[in-house]
Structure 1
Amino acid sequence: MTRTRSPLLVWALAALAAVIALTVLMNVGPRSARTGTSTVSMPAGATSESLPLAASAPTGIEIPAIGVTRDSIMKLGYNEDLSLQVPPDAATVGWFSRGSAPGTNGPAVFASHVNYRGVEGGFAHLSALTAGDEVLVHRADGSSVAYVVDRVEQASKRAFPTAQVYGPTGDAQIRLITCGGDFDSATRNYADNVIVFGHAERAWR
């Protein structure tokens, strides 16, 4: 005699098969290309420089972990309300020129959009950085500074950590800023900022 399975048993077996299939896909499917931190190397023939450096404006920035390479940097100042100016387009990375120059003691502050008018911003993937990733800043005097990321924070714009971002430090540091959190379609603004904190590790020319 042929035995027929109950509808409940058939459903249970199908659900189990789906779970197994999903587990297999998760285990053998594509994985993130990142298996560790992303660093930068001193070019062959370059000469190490002692930190801190004399002041010199930034001319470019590289963040290998998130695929950012810019060979020009815009100078940023204050808005009328004393907030930091932002670049006028999606791709541009700006440097707060009233703050510290890269490689000098204090925080060198850089900003770019997460997106702008539907275009992916220069710092669109800033939140993907992790402690140990490196950021390379090129300077007008021909030198370069390699920074190591210490931490990544997301902070409400209503409680922005001004002192931590702009306050004096006893060594050369870096801050990378973009928008994050929920997007308010009415005001066209994000509720938070993503902030990367890091310190200068080495420099060369």
Structure 2
Amino acid sequence: MTETKRSNLLVWAVALLVALGVLAVISSGPGSARTGTTTASVPAGAQSESLPLAASAPVGLEIPAIGVTRDSIMKLGFNEDLSLQVPPDAATVGWFAKGSAPGTDGPAVFASHVNYGGQKGGFADLKEMKAGDEVVVHRADRTSVTFVVDRVEEASKQAFPTATVYGPTAGPEIRLITCGGDFDGATRNYEDNIIVYGHAKGAYR
């Protein structure tokens, strides 16, 4: 990827995060305390696959720690005016299709609202995740990738860690992003982002 294309990618990605915040309309409220971590089970008889994998789009997502299961994933691209698409409702989880596919080298970035139109968003409880929690992404080629959470960060949108979130990595990684922090009623925008960072533990078919 050329430096120009990489720079454009980072600009578009930041615009996506801003859009997620602008569309939120209520605060998520205090979360419940969690103890321990939550792992994901591998189906009996599953065959292990070596990482990194060839590119394949995500078609499902499981986050057992916060009770999120999705059987479809929206590809996030561009509107006709070249503005970035965002999930059209509270529940939808989107994948930034201009970035890395899950299981390939680089960060696969997923986004969902914290809330939307007065309804709880798909990533409303993202801030409750802990290091050691596991996330499973199912792919179109019938492989699945298990990721382990490394850390959860709340970052100001005024100082968003763009390079850390979207920059190249030595292996397959994942990012889960939603809005967080205080809600500014004047701009109808959250001041921060909640970012979950994780690395691939393994893959199976």
Q: How does 1:52-201 map to 2 (within 5 A)?
A: 52-77=52-77, 85-201=85-201
Deviations 1:160-194 (A, max 9, x none): 11100110111000000000001011211100000
**RMSD of equivalent CA atoms:** 1.8
Amino acid at match of 1:69: T
Unaligned segments of structure 1, at least 5 residues? 1-31
Deviations 1:4-49 (A, max 9, x none): xxxxxxxxxxxxxxxxxxxxxxxxxxxx795411001210111000
Deviation (angstroms), 1:117:
1.1
Alpha carbons of structure 1 residues 107 and 84: separation in structure 2 relative to 1, 3 Å:
farther
Alpha carbons of structure 1 residues 88 and 37: separation in structure 2 relative to 1, 3 Å:
same
**Inter-partner Cα distance in structure 2 for 1:98 and 1:175:** 14
Alpha carbons of structure 1 residues 107 and 79: separation in structure 2 relative to 1, 3 Å:
farther
**Inter-partner Cα distance in structure 2 for 1:81 and 1:193:** 25
Moved over 6 A (4+): 79-83
Deviations 1:50-87 (A, max 9, x none): 00000000000000000000000001125799886421
Alpha carbons of structure 1 residues 182 and 79: separation in structure 2 relative to 1, 3 Å:
farther
Q: What's the counterpart of residue 45 of structure 1? A: 45
**Inter-partner Cα distance in structure 1 for 2:137 and 2:80:** 29
Answer whether contact 2:34 2:128 (CA < 8 A) is retained. no
**Inter-partner Cα distance in structure 1 for 2:47 and 2:152:** 31
Aligned length: 174
Unaligned segments of structure 2, at least 5 residues? 1-31
Deviations 1:105-155 (A, max 9, x none): 000000000000110000000000000000000000000000000000011
Amino acid at match of 1:141: D
TM-score of the pair, normalised by structure 2: 0.81
Higher relative contact order (CA 8 A, sep 6+): 2
**Inter-partner Cα distance in structure 1 for 2:37 and 2:83:** 32
**Inter-partner Cα distance in structure 2 for 1:87 and 1:181:** 20
Percent of matched pairs sharing the same residue? 79
Amino acid at match of 1:75: K
TM-score of the pair, normalised by structure 1: 0.81
**Inter-partner Cα distance in structure 2 for 1:189 and 1:175:** 21
Amino acid at match of 2:72: S
